[in-house]
Amino acid sequence: MTEIINRYANWPDWPEGRTAVIAEVGINHGGDEDLAWEMIKSAHLNGADFVKLQSFVTEEFFHPSLSYFDSTKSMELSVDSQRDLFRKAKSEGIKLITTPFDFTSVDMVREFDLPAYKIASMDNDNVPLMRYIAEEKKPVMVSTGMAHMEEIQKVVDVFTEAGNEKLVLLHCVSDYPTKPVDVNLSMMQLYMETFNCPTGLSDHSLGIASALAAVSLGATVIEKHFTTDKALFEKIPDADHDISIEPFELKELRDFCEMLPAMMGVAPRTLTEGEKARRRDSRRGLYAVRDIQKGEKVCTENVILLRPVNGIHAGRWDEVCGREMIKRIKKGQPITDTDLGL
């Protein structure tokens, strides 16, 4: 885990030594710039390392025959609105990034010198767009939903050919929501071993259980859809509020990411100060269960193991069992090395 995470620790704007958290506002704003800004600020305040939008020109994204063309168009943020959001985010220290779905959007956000880009699962076979973004030489996260392994290899090849060594593969299942049985977190390890690059999770399951598990397994990045209120689903039904997490869940996820490196610790570990003290008080020592005469041998008939340790501890039983007492011991007394001539 630490080795994989440290591979991007020196990338600008990325957290060091722990999983990065991305809160995807996406299109949950429904095209409302004010709501988008409210969500961006909330995500930042509740622990997101990066907050993410989706940038697109609908006409360069969908064919007009699609039934949801008009709905998507209504949720499109204008170029001016996006510029306003990126400017405000930068002025307040918020790391706002985006998933650009077209060349126009890539060109638009270039002026803001984003710390990273994201490529959605639907575009992990869109070679021209991937290549255009890869050539920015910025960290780029690519979701792998709907992709076979040979298609993911093609993604890696595109970035290798572009000379971009900052590719992060995000395991993703493009089902909304993803059922627990379909999450398949073991894919992250397969990606690490096969493609030798940082790996994370773009999670579409409900809640944060899958995300917490992925962090524990060494995910370099966790991406979750984010909303300030799931009830907004009633107002903006074609967005992603139903699979999004709310501020309290985002905070819990970030707190876990902060805490995990400390919990992982090192191996072999050293005993805590509390454990050192409890070795005497909580473990057992040898005591005379009755008066023991000089010359008697230590055995289970004349010795009992009781807390606390005031002489020989229980772990030395094989060493002292069968040894002769060199003096008389009264019932209830602890047995010490001196009593056995040790």
pLDDT tens-digit profile, the chain (342 residues): 555 555 665 677 888 889 999 999 999 999 999 999 999 999 999 999 999 999 999 999 899 999 999 999 999 999 999 999 999 999 999 999 999 999 999 999 999 999 999 999 999 999 999 999 999 999 999 999 999 999 999 999 999 999 999 999 999 999 999 999 999 999 999 999 999 999 999 999 999 999 999 999 999 999 999 999 999 998 899 899 999 999 999 999 999 999 998 898 889 999 999 998 898 889 999 999 999 999 999 999 999 999 999 999 999 999 999 999 999 999 999 999 999 999
Neighbours of 283 (CB within 10 A): 14
Q: Collapsing DSSP states into helix, strand and coil, what is residue 133?
A: helix
For 256, the token pair is 């876990």
- For residues 226 and 137, membership in a common domain is answered with yes
Domain finish residue from 214, 241, 264: 264
Question: Phi and psi of 289, rounded to 5°?
Answer: -80, -15
Q: At 306, which CATH number?
A: 3.90.1210.10
Counting the structural domains of the chain, the total is 2
Q: What is the DSSP letter of 179?
A: P
- For residues 196 and 71, membership in a common domain is answered with yes
Give the Cα separation of 157 and 119 in Å (integer).
15
Domain finish residue from 244, 264, 284: 264
- For residues 260 and 328, membership in a common domain is answered with no
Letter for the amino acid at 336? T
- For residues 38 and 176, membership in a common domain is answered with yes
Q: At 68, which CATH number?
A: 3.20.20.70
Q: Collapsing DSSP states into helix, strand and coil, what is residue 132?
A: helix
Q: What is the C-alpha end-to-end distance of the chain, expressed in Å?
A: 47
For 228, the token pair is 């300030």
Give the Cα separation of 117 and 162 in Å (integer).
15
Domain finish residue from 231, 264, 297: 264
Neighbours of 149 (CB within 10 A): 13
- For residues 285 and 260, membership in a common domain is answered with no
- For residues 143 and 254, membership in a common domain is answered with yes
Domain that includes residue 299, residue range: 273-340
- For residues 244 and 317, membership in a common domain is answered with no
Q: Collapsing DSSP states into helix, strand and coil, what is residue 226?
A: strand
- For residues 150 and 287, membership in a common domain is answered with no
Closest CA to 338 of 319, 311, 314: 311
Residue 249: CA count within 13 A, CB half-sphere: 21
Closest CA to 52 of 102, 115, 127: 115
- For residues 175 and 138, membership in a common domain is answered with yes
- For residues 244 and 131, membership in a common domain is answered with yes
In DSSP terms, 50 is beta-bridged to 22
Determine contact, residues 284/315, Cβ cutoff 8 Å. no
* pTM metric for this prediction: 0.86
Give the Cα separation of 57 and 81 in Å (integer).
13
- For residues 208 and 284, membership in a common domain is answered with no
Q: What is the DSSP letter of 181?
A: G
- For residues 146 and 251, membership in a common domain is answered with yes
Give the Cα separation of 316 and 298 in Å (integer).
12
* Predicted pLDDT of residue 95: 96
E strands of the chain, at which residues?
20-26, 50-55, 96-100, 117-119, 140-143, 167-172, 199-203, 221-225, 285-288, 303-306
